[in-house]
Amino acid sequence: MTRVVRIALIGDYNSTAKAHQGIPRALSLASKRGECDCAWEWIHTSTLTDNPAEQLARFRGLWCVPASPYANTRGALAAIRFARQTGRPFLGTCGGFQHALLEYAEAVWDVAHPAHAELDPDAVDPVISPLVCSLVEESGEIRFESGSRLASIYGTATATEEYHCRYGLNPVYCERLASGPLRVSARDATGDVRGVELDSHPFY
């Protein structure tokens, strides 16, 4: 009997979002590679503020998807915190990546009010700040850190990826990634952080 892997897609589904259109196909291809069936469910961020564990415990993994800002930022952060604290496999791409950094900044780095410049453009030293050059509909080389999970998954030291992004980690906070356990796993050609992973977590 083929095993079924249930994945929660954390985000607010938008049928016109290019990334959202591609996610089911990506999961289907991944399930074939993993010789399993993948059952996914979109979880609206507005439903996650009170008791995320009640909704998310039945899933084997969480993917915080692109197309932010989310309807409810706290809901997205609650889902990410659930994955981090319970050891659930977690993937955050684009807005999901940015919000994973926000959650970690608040919970572990003790940043009192971690800001995202898209939501709070007047914030001083936001954790997520505007990129110097917008990467909307751009592609570029990504360099994986040696020994990282991403390098192992890709099976190569570099890859070319497409972007639809205007925000990234504020360089002010990059030094905090040097000592772990949240570490840089990928950078672009200019050295900006494009991926992180958590040493103490099975897959984050």
- Is a pLDDT exceeding 80 seen at residue 133? no
Q: Is 187 or 180 the better-scoring residue by pLDDT?
A: 187
Let me know whether 192 and 124 are in one domain. Answer: yes
Q: Is residue 106 part of a domain?
A: no
Let me know whether 60 and 135 are in one domain. Answer: no
Instruction: Taking residues 34-54, report their average pLDDT.
Output: 93
Q: What is the pLDDT of residue 134?
A: 62
Domain that holds residue 36: 1-93
| Number of domains, the chain | 2
User: Which CATH number fits the domain that encloses residue 15?
Assistant: 3.40.50.880
β-pairing, 182-188 with 128-144? antiparallel
Q: Is residue 131 part of a domain?
A: yes
Let me know whether 80 and 122 are in one domain. Answer: no
Let me know whether 1 and 82 are in one domain. Answer: yes
Note the pLDDT tens digit of each residue in 141-179. 999 999 999 999 999 999 998 877 889 999 999 999 988
Q: Is 137 or 23 the better-scoring residue by pLDDT?
A: 23
CB within 8 Å of 131: residues ≥ 6 apart: 165, 166, 167, 168, 192
Q: Is residue 108 part of a domain?
A: no
